[in-house]
Amino acid sequence: MKKVVVFILSLLIFNAVNAESEKALFSKCVDGDTAYFLVNENEIKVRFLAIDTPESVSTNVSEQPFGKEASDYTCNKISNANEIILEDEKNKTDKYGRTLAWVWVDGSLLQEELIKNGYGQVAYIYGKYKYTDSLCKVQKYAINNLLNVWSNTSYEEGYCKNKDVENTENNIIYDNLNKEDEKTKDTIDKLDKVSDKIDDVMNSPKFENVLLYVILIGSVVSLIFKETKKKK
């Protein structure tokens, strides 16, 4: 009984956490912050959330410094990935009809990897997104170490400029996810204890007696109801 209860509750928690995520397959590259993926056999164009990489293929803007490097980095990551997961935010699409998503590649958030290596910056933030504060932290690291786009003095910091965050090269998002995993584990442990208590109650002689009384009373009421119905 206890194992069944814990399994069902764990399954519900897992589904709730992953309700906004779906697996995808690589289809084709575009540039550093855009690509095509297959989801349920349908090809969709995905614009990576909360990041802007230098232009490399735009018809309206000439190729920008480190645009090709950012594009090559992204293409190499997604074309060689074993697993790609697209995670939604509240804004599902942009004004061009492109799907907006966090892109997880083999367990790593691609936006974080791009920013940490200096291939773009945190941008296009419309409201509070899940990982922007963490992304700003790794961006500070890239800026302080003059990585790629930040080696160009004309490249200006946008959204994160006034954010009071420490710079770090650590995978902040992984740390946050580990904390969430710990919270989930704590929740399951608490559910396990509740299940133990339920088992104790159900296996106690008192519970068996009460259950027997309920069954007997139910049977008597049912018989009385049937006899009354026959007389009518």
Output the 3-class SS for 15-78.
HHHCCCEEEEEEEEEEECCEEEEEECCEEEEEEECCEECCCCCCCCCCCCCCHHHHHHHHHHHH
- pLDDT at residue 177 in the model: 52
84: helix, strand or coil:
strand
* Direct distance between the N- and C-terminal alpha carbons of the chain, in angstroms, rounded to an integer: 44
- pLDDT at residue 92 in the model: 86
- pLDDT at residue 57 in the model: 80
* pLDDT tens for each residue of the chain, 232 residues long: 545 444 444 444 444 444 478 999 999 999 999 999 999 999 999 999 999 999 988 767 778 899 999 999 999 999 999 999 999 987 789 999 999 999 999 999 999 999 999 999 999 988 888 899 999 999 999 999 999 999 987 888 888 987 776 666 665 565 555 555 555 556 656 666 666 666 666 666 666 666 676 777 777 777 666 665 555 5
Residues 6 or more apart from 23 whose CB is under 8 A from it? 39, 83, 84, 85, 86
CA distance 126 to 178: 27
Contact by Cβ (8 Å): 121, 160: yes
Does the domain made of 2-171 have the CATH classification 2.40.50.90?
Answer: yes
pTM of the shown model: 0.65
Place of tokens 């990551």: 77
46 residue type, one letter = V
Contact by Cβ (8 Å): 130, 88: no
Give the helix/strand (H/E) hosting 99: strand 99-105
Give the helix/strand (H/E) hosting 195: helix 172-203
Domain boundaries, the chain: 2-171, 183-231
CA distance 136 to 118: 12
Catalytic residue set: 47, 55, 98
